[in-house]
Amino acid sequence: MHILVFHILGAGAIGTLLATLLADNTHQAILIDRARTPKFDVTRNRHDTVAHYRFKGLDENRPASHLLLCTKAQHVITATRSIEHLISSDTIIIDLANGMGHQQELSTTYPHNPVLYGSVSHGAYWANGKLIYAGEGEIHIGHPNGQRPESIPTLPNCFLWSENIITKLWLKLAVNCAINPLTVINNCKNGELLSYSDTQTIVDSICSEVEQIALRQGISLPDTRQVVHQVLKNTADNSSSTRQDYLNGKSLELEYINGYIVTEGTRLGVATPANRQMLTAVSKLIQK
């Protein structure tokens, strides 16, 4: 198999996990961290196994053939701009960040590049400097118009090609709009939300707003409340990414989650009080 070199922007848990998954698939990864320093060494500690990869002879300043964006949603555009010397018109840019809105900004910013959107459901986090692979998931990627551009060669097995990536992103958005702020407000793990009496009512309102906005954009979603319920059960023991960020004093992605729904609601004339309430409640907590 042809060995591909992936530049991964964002050396957080997901970026690092992807580097190791690619290396497992015999591909190579250059992780670029916040200081914009490319790192060639990737270490994974998984169930007591330590995988250590050292790629020699990679030219860090050669333009990227494949650029995976694994930053926080709010940093996608600025972080990508900061490594423009690594982007040529042939670079395939794959946006794997959470939330919605940055993907479209990216396509507009790089109109001559193949820009793909993606959704990651692997679970990973850092604990005492170790990367914990908490839950095996999938990575779906696709082109917003549903078609696979001819310029996109075969991709490693850890990516699944999706002909309907936009719907996948919307379903993930609904899940994140409901679960992420509620786990911050209640300071709880995902599954604990199932035991609160008012969760269903709030989730229903949040999901109904998401579905209305999607419909106004021409996307008809299945019942997202059921999807949220299933994810709450499947990830019961998880601390949501937003709760982890909140507890670690990091900036939150909610502007690209509930914030996207509120902004689109204003643009399209659809009321979105439940999503707005999530933003207000979380920002009050941050100000405390």
What is the pattern of x (binds ligand KPL, CB under 6 A) and - over residues 95-114? ---x----------------
Residue with smaller CB distance to ligand KPL, 16 or 238:
238
Sites for ligand KPL among residues 132-191 (CB under 6 A): 175-176, 179-180, 190
Q: Least Å distance between CB 121 and ligand KPL? A: 7
Q: How many residues bind ligand KPL (CB under 6 A)?
A: 11
Q: Least Å distance between CB 144 and ligand KPL? A: 21
Near ligand KPL by CB under 6 A: residue from 71, 103, 212, 240:
240
Residue with smaller CB distance to ligand KPL, 86 or 228:
228
**68: which residues sit within 8 A by CB, 6+ positions away?**
6, 7, 8, 9, 15, 18, 94, 96
Q: Least Å distance between CB 238 and ligand KPL? A: 4
Residue 28 within binding range of ligand KPL, rule CB under 6 A: no
Distance CA 181, CA 279 (A): 8
Residue with smaller CB distance to ligand KPL, 64 or 185:
185
Q: Least Å distance between CB 198 and ligand KPL? A: 19
Near ligand KPL by CB under 6 A: residue from 28, 113, 119, 241:
241
Residue with smaller CB distance to ligand KPL, 169 or 262:
169
User: Which residues sit at the interface with ligand KPL, rule CB under 6 A?
Assistant: 98, 175-176, 179-180, 190, 231, 235, 238, 240-241
